[in-house]
Amino acid sequence: MPDVEELLETYRVDVAHARQVADLALALFDAVAERYELLPAQRRLLEIGALLHNVGMTTDPPEHHLVGRDIVLNQGIDDLSPRERAIVACMVAFHRKKVRPELEPAYLALGRRGQRDALRLSAILRVADGLDYSQSQTTRLLAVTPAGDGLTLILSGPYAAEDGARAIAKADLWRKVFGESLQAQVEGAEATASPAPGSPDGPAAGDVEEAEATIAPESETPDGSPVGEAEEEAGVLDPWYADPEAPLAELGRVLLRRHLRRLRLAERQVRADAPIESVHDLRVATRRLRATLRLLTPIFAPGGLRAYGKGLRRLAGVAGPVRDRDVLLADLAERAPALPEEAQPAVAALNERLHEDRDKAFTALIAFLESDAYAEFLREFATLMNEPDGWDDRPRVCDLAGSTIWRHYEILRAHDHGGLPEDTAELHAMRIDGKRLRYVLEFFAETLGPRADEVIKPLMAFQDHLGVLNDISVARHLLAPHADDPRAGPAVAAYLALREQQAAQLGADLPARWEKLTGLDYRRDLAACLVGLW
């Protein structure tokens, strides 16, 4: 197992900054340990998290907090237990940008006490990181003193004012978890206070996010020099999980965490009944997670992934009726002006009926998302993707990627029996197999490199074409119960007449779309992608 020093060297971390942040974090910890009843064992975790907070910077600078989390979870560190490793991963994930714990798989897998520890240590790390915003390692924490309803950080150094302002901007999580405000004061100068949560100058109450300070942009130090200049000169490292020699399980765990985070973000929007695309995003996330689980089945304990696939299907099942009605309502609104004038009252009645159906489906979806059973599913699912237990790390990406991609391509092509199917159910099955091929290609996209886009884009166009045909089929099904309604029935007939015209045109255009996926050029592009795996 690599120790912290090995990881710092492997990922070319700016050790001077990392050590400065760690020292400041430990100084903060020692100053408030008694006040907040922090335990000595937490001090070691804080130091490790502080040293590794930028470990992902040389791999993916814009998302280095998430890449760093993956590095921590995938690398054994100093004999940390799975719980301790997850806490350190949370610190790395939470040290920058908005802190939304409910989105983070490492956080979801922890028990209540572990979650509390992760947030408290992350709060300290965020402030410590701000205190070396200048990247100069010159700001010193002289003392932490009580002040009103919180604490004052007494600082010194040539960039102490700028660093202190950044630290206070990042004290949002501190206020939330410790219930006290922070202010910074340069020795011999006036204090800079943190705005209270919910105040006009502070973050919204209940939303833990990093406030913007009126200081230099994050890409520059106060003297105008770029942050991380050493890393930029050294170049960006390729993601370790995209190497063809990387264990397939490691790539899979990274992608599971990525897709679960997207699922949770979509849930957040769905609960707020945000724009209709939030339900679509939720369903797409479930599909990507299920596709990833299917690809990982051969390298996990037999039958061990089945329960998670079932849980995701249940979620997709309750989200589907909402999404189907959202699509129908949006299309009905777009086509309503083209319907006969005498059908307009029926359109209003139909719209009312569909909204009633949608509201019932949405209520069922929210009840599912708020259930204890779903919360337990998420906790267990997050644990699966954060810990190595049950995974076979021997098969490499290059061992299985090529055959898996080509097998899915052959399954899609098998739908053509001297001509494309005309039956609605067969076209739907073809669309599903097209999606599965696309998800397989996207699973290996970072390993395949830029050529992956050349084979994914035509597939997406074909899939979208079949998707509209499927929407028409779903519309027929959803509107059937309203066809005999005296008030809404005339609108159903007029609307479906337009959709049938659209279906006829889509059917006529389908062979040309299909030819782009089966022609020689596409097969050569696909083969070129596969050759790059070896």
Q: Give pLDDT tens digits along the chain (534 positions).
A: 468 999 999 999 999 999 999 999 999 999 999 999 999 999 999 999 999 999 999 999 999 999 999 999 988 787 889 999 999 999 999 998 889 999 999 999 999 999 999 999 999 999 999 999 999 999 999 999 998 889 999 999 999 999 999 999 999 999 999 999 999 999 877 655 554 444 333 433 334 444 333 333 343 444 444 344 344 445 688 899 999 999 999 999 999 999 999 999 999 999 987 777 899 999 999 999 999 999 999 999 999 999 999 999 999 999 999 999 999 999 999 999 999 999 999 999 999 999 999 999 999 999 999 999 999 999 999 999 998 889 999 999 999 999 999 999 999 999 998 899 988 899 999 999 999 999 999 999 999 988 899 999 999 999 999 999 999 999 999 999 999 999 999 999 999 999 999 999 999 999 999 999 999 999 999 999 888 777
Contact (Cβ atoms closer than 8 angstroms) between residue 194 and residue 202: yes
Residue 391: give the domain boundaries.
240-531
Q: Are residues 207 and 244 in the same domain?
A: no
Q: Are residues 295 and 171 in the same domain?
A: no
- The pLDDT value recorded for residue 221 is 43
Q: Which two tokens stand for residue 231?
A: 């890393």
Task: Give the residue from 184, 209, 234 where a domain finishes.
Answer: 234
- The pLDDT value recorded for residue 276 is 77
Contact (Cβ atoms closer than 8 angstroms) between residue 52 and residue 69: no
Q: Are residues 91 and 31 in the same domain?
A: yes
Among the listed residues 117, 101, 108, 99, the one whose alpha carbon sits nearest the alpha carbon of residue 374 = 108
- The pLDDT value recorded for residue 411 is 96
- The pLDDT value recorded for residue 147 is 86
Task: Give the residue from 177, 201, 234 where a domain finishes.
Answer: 234
- The pLDDT value recorded for residue 227 is 44
Q: Are residues 274 and 326 in the same domain?
A: yes
Q: What is the largest CA-CA distance in the chain?
A: 85
Q: Are residues 304 and 213 in the same domain?
A: no
Q: Are residues 292 and 353 in the same domain?
A: yes
Q: Which two tokens stand for residue 62?
A: 């814009």
Distance CA 434, CA 466 (A): 9
The residue written with tokens 């940008």 in the block is: 97
484-530 pLDDT, tens digit per residue, is 999 999 999 999 999 999 999 999 999 999 999 999 999 999 999 88
Task: Give the residue from 177, 207, 234 where a domain finishes.
Answer: 234
Q: Which two tokens stand for residue 378?
A: 């998420």
Q: Are residues 146 and 211 in the same domain?
A: yes
- Alpha carbons within 13 angstroms on the beta-carbon side of residue 229 total 8
At 188, phi and psi to the nearest 5?
90, 5
Tally of CB atoms within 10 A around 4? 19
In whole numbers, what is the pLDDT of the chain averaged over residues?
A: 89
- The pLDDT value recorded for residue 191 is 59
**3-state class percentages of the chain: helix first, strand second, coil last, to nearest 5:** 65, 5, 25
Q: Are residues 248 and 220 in the same domain?
A: no
Handedness of CA 369, 373, 378, 379 (dihedral sign): positive
Q: Are residues 218 and 262 in the same domain?
A: no
- The pLDDT value recorded for residue 444 is 95
Residues contacting 434, CB < 8 A, separation 6+:
412, 459, 462, 463, 466
Q: Are residues 77 and 208 in the same domain?
A: yes
Distance CA 26, CA 10 (A): 24
57, 227, 306, 496 from 134: Cα distances, Å: 17, 8, 50, 63
Read off the CATH number of the domain in which 488 is found: 1.40.20.10
- The pLDDT value recorded for residue 232 is 42
Q: What is the 3-state secondary structure (H, E, C) of 515-526?
A: HHHHCHHHHHHH
- DSSP assigned state of 191: E
- The pLDDT value recorded for residue 236 is 85
Number of folded domains in the chain? 2
Q: Are residues 198 and 286 in the same domain?
A: no
204-238 pLDDT, tens digit per residue, is 333 444 433 333 334 344 444 434 434 444 568 88
Read off the CATH number of the domain in which 107 is found: 1.10.3210.10
Q: Are residues 180 and 166 in the same domain?
A: yes
What percentage of the chain has pLDDT greater than the value 90?
81
